[in-house]
A and B are shown apart, each in its own frame.
Chain A
Amino acid sequence: MCGIISVIDRKKNPMDGSAIKESLSIMNERGNGEGSGYAVYGAFPEFADYYAIHVFYDDLIGPKTAVEEELEKLGTVKHQEEIPTFEQPNLKKRHIPWRYFFKPNVMALGTSVSEEDILVYLMTKVNTTIPGALIYSTGKNIAVFKAAGWPEEVADFYRIQDYEGYIWLSHNRYPTNTAGWWGGAHPFNLLDWTVVHNGEITSYGTNKRYLESFGYVCTMHTDTEVVAYLTDLLQRQHNLPAELAFKALAPPFWDDIDRMPEKERTFNTALRMAYGPAMMNGPFAIVVANSEGIAGITDRIKLRPLVAAEAGDRLYLSSEEAAIRVAEPALDRVWMPRAGEPVIGRIE
């Protein structure tokens, strides 16, 4: 179950959220009203140099004060606001969504570390030690909107048509093995990475432990969270090019590796040996985005659907062709990517 749709405009032309809402809503039989969400890149041009920290607060007294104490210790808040919301008949405000535009101080932890490391530290600290506060997005110029509800309700709750950007990701959730709650709704974001996922990651236990050994802490109670962290680990921390990082997550079978020419074989063997615990198992179709582009990939035996389509400068990735056609009836090309083979769309 679950439905995903994502689009990038390679020329960075802005798109508002109305089309993606319609696309996602047509896949309602893939969800059950317990979680939907949207993410958009390019949402805050006026604060493009600041990290947009999105927080769900249970109340604005204890948790908010505690989070702001942490923010003060770690850097400067340029601007903050409650995220505008509009209650719907079936979607009441369960948490209070808030956003901060934040500049970290790289010396805040006593020694010079990267801005990204400060953000990861902050998110881990808040999500593991401050009850009633959950940081669910930390990217620059990225807005994330999610809640436990149907796609159109969540879209209207946040009025996503009021936002514009050059990459959109969205997700319609059918929770199967974890509870449907606001934090568990997709997309999942960490720094520049955002993930939507259809499926179940049976390697979650292994992936989670592996990430823990690198200091990540999983707090969202759902398997998808690991994809964002694995991407961050492999691409940001280990500097692997996107193609290789995806190969580590869904590597070729040993039988195929054995048949490769020597150089390729050695490369793929090394990748599998080093990143065995990062490889993802089970049925999945995921779309991972960063500010440079989007990439979609399915599991190695394609137990979940993924359709790719192009229309002019736009690349779409979705669970269903019908969802893409709602947004863009006339497509230049539609294809079904092969199992484990990433489809990547980059800005030009």
Chain B
Amino acid sequence: MPIGSVPPKYKVTIDNDLCMLCERCIENCPYGTFRREGNKIMTFSRACTGCHRCVAMCPRDAIDIEEKPVDYRTHPVWTREAREAIYNQAQSGKIILTGMGNTLNVPPIFDRLLLDACQVTNPSIDPLREPMELRTYIGKKPRQISVKKTAEGDIDLATQLAPNLKCETPIMIGHMSYGAISLNAQRSMARGAAEEGTFMGTGEGGLHKSLYPYQDNMIVQIASGRFGVDIDYLERGAAIEIKIGQGAKPGIGGHLPGEKVDEKVSKTRMIPLYSDAISPAPHHDIYSIEDLSQLVRSLKEATEWKKPVFVKIAAVHNVAAIAAGIARSSADAVVIDGFRGGTGSAPRVFRDHVGIPIEAAIAAVDQKLNKQGIRNEVSIIASGGIRDSADVTKAIALGADSVYIGTAALVSLGCRVCGSCYRNMCPWGIATQREDLTARIDPDIMYKNVSNLIHGWTLEIAELMGAAGINSIESLRGNRDRLRGYMLDENILSVLDVKTVGAGAE
């Protein structure tokens, strides 16, 4: 090719004094970074994705991976990424695909929000000694409770509650489909979620039989491709979620390459073996809120009004008005996925440039629903870039009922966020269907990582709440008083409805 190849991103070196030629690096790297030549392991750095599987598995710590310094002429505007994208497209003429979340260097708003803590006048609460309540009900709530007096003078409840998901923590695991990720990864997360009394999404890949034991903790998803959807699927889920959009790629559909569609995936998705699974950008029966409302109600009717129905959208500029429409469509919860949301595969230009940060989206939606007097009647689930318990706490203080985590759950299974999920070669056995690779996750062991993660975050949220003098998560939700903005401009503070650092209560 006249342009030639681009320089490698990583430099992989082996310390031959330490190496004992066990060849685990060769076995572990599906990209072919290592080979043996005589009494030496040779490296082919160009193949490395920086997944660190080899480093993690080397018994002698003999492998070093460094990000290779850019050997183009440095330029503040024409970055390495900008130039390489052009070389790549000049050669291929294709859309550039990528995996995982946004890589643009835009500071997360979460990092510029600071939480509160009590001092003296108001005692902080010690979660080790006092009850701390994180239980969260996701679903429709009545606007008010009606009571009636019985003939005997007792007071009875006259209001009937809509079905809700009872979560023991405000952390749920978002939708990652079977196909995009491996069954073993899904099973680990499903069991982990069930252990912690919370829920996990199936994604649009259907529900594999081996997940049936966890079905009471699973939310089944319906995307535009309708993969794996039949009445049995709907009935098995604890809740149903209609996916309209996704934070990593608002406005476009999904694409699972045929090579990931092996026999089990094909059966679960109900599509032909090795065929590409393409979800259209829109649902072809939804062109308005009225249409959405029909689907929501049909799903409820099909499941005898026993299950909450959620609607997931990407966080976009007009997210508040869209969410308000969804709230009025009979949906029980609106899921908002921010522009840092992960993905198995998306066009890079979408992932990095379309949508808005989840922090602003939550605040705008919460505000709009509140103004319309319906905030308490529908739940808000926030996702897309939740990295730790502080992010969860801040998301709730901005107005979310609970969060979905995605990448964080994968990281608990070993994922190093190398961003090569779309290649079906994930060395950690997560974003792949290759059996030799998926076997690297034993769900009966790895579920513990997931449950540990959720458990640990839950403890931290309890501590943060206690420090703020709050012993029940309901009192944190939408409580902007417990947040202050640091180095945020006035416009963002106004969208977030948060005061600046140093400002008192009023």
Contacts and interface: CB of A to CB of B under 8 A. Distances in A.
Interface residues of B, number: 48
Interface string A231-268: 00000011111001000000001110000000000110
Interface in A244-294: 244, 253-255, 266-267, 269-277, 279-283
B147 interface: yes
Contacts of B157: 266-267, 270
Interface string B457-494: 00000000000111110111111111000000000000
Given A177-B504, A213-B375, A221-B506, A202 B474 contact: no
Interface stretch (B85-93, B128-136, B414-422): B128-136
Contact of B371 (A205, A213, A238, A272): A213
B77 interface: no
Interface string B119-147: 00111010000110101010001111111
B452 interface: no
Given A205-B482, A221-B506, A267-B157, A279 B370 contact: no
Interface string A165-195: 0000000000011110000000000000000
B373 A200 contact: no
A28 interface: no
Contacts of B366: 209
Nearest to B137: A273
Given A176-B121, A178-B504, A221-B506, A200 B161 contact: no
B500 interface: no
Contacts of A210: 375-376, 478
B505 interface: yes
A337 B120 CA distance: 24
B217 interface: no
A206 B400 CA distance: 12
Given A274-B145, A301-B471, A269 B161 contact: yes
B16 interface: no
Given A177-B504, A213-B376, A281 B370 contact: no
B145 A238 contact: yes
Contacts of A301: 125, 130-131, 471
A279 B366 CA distance: 18
Interface string A45-84: 0000000000000000000000000000000000000000
B275 interface: no
Contacts of B141: 273-274, 276
A199 B121 CA distance: 8
Contacts of B506: 178-179, 221-222
A328 B137 CA distance: 48
B433 to A, nearest CB: 41
A183 to B, nearest CB: 11
Contact of B122 (A176, A179, A215, A269): A176
Interface string A191-228: 00000000110111110011011110000011100000
A238 B376 CA distance: 15
Interface in B94-111: none
B495 interface: no
B231 interface: no
Most A CB atoms within 10 A — which of B133, B145, B155, B477? B145
B373 A214 contact: yes
Contacts of B118: 202
Contact of B161 (A215, A223, A270): A270
A140 interface: no
Contacts of A303: 123
A281 B505 CA distance: 16
Given A269-B161, A282-B475, 19 more contacts: A177-B122, A178-B505, A202-B118, A202-B468, A203-B470, A204-B481, A205-B479, A205-B482, A206-B479, A209-B478, A213-B375, A239-B146, A241-B155, A274-B145, A280-B475, A281-B472, A281-B475, A283-B469, A301-B131
23 contacts: A200-B469, A202-B470, A205-B397, A205-B480, A206-B474, A209-B480, A213-B373, A214-B373, A215-B373, A222-B506, A240-B147, A253-B131, A266-B157, A273-B141, A273-B142, A274-B141, A276-B472, A276-B474, A277-B478, A281-B470, A281-B471, A282-B470, A283-B122
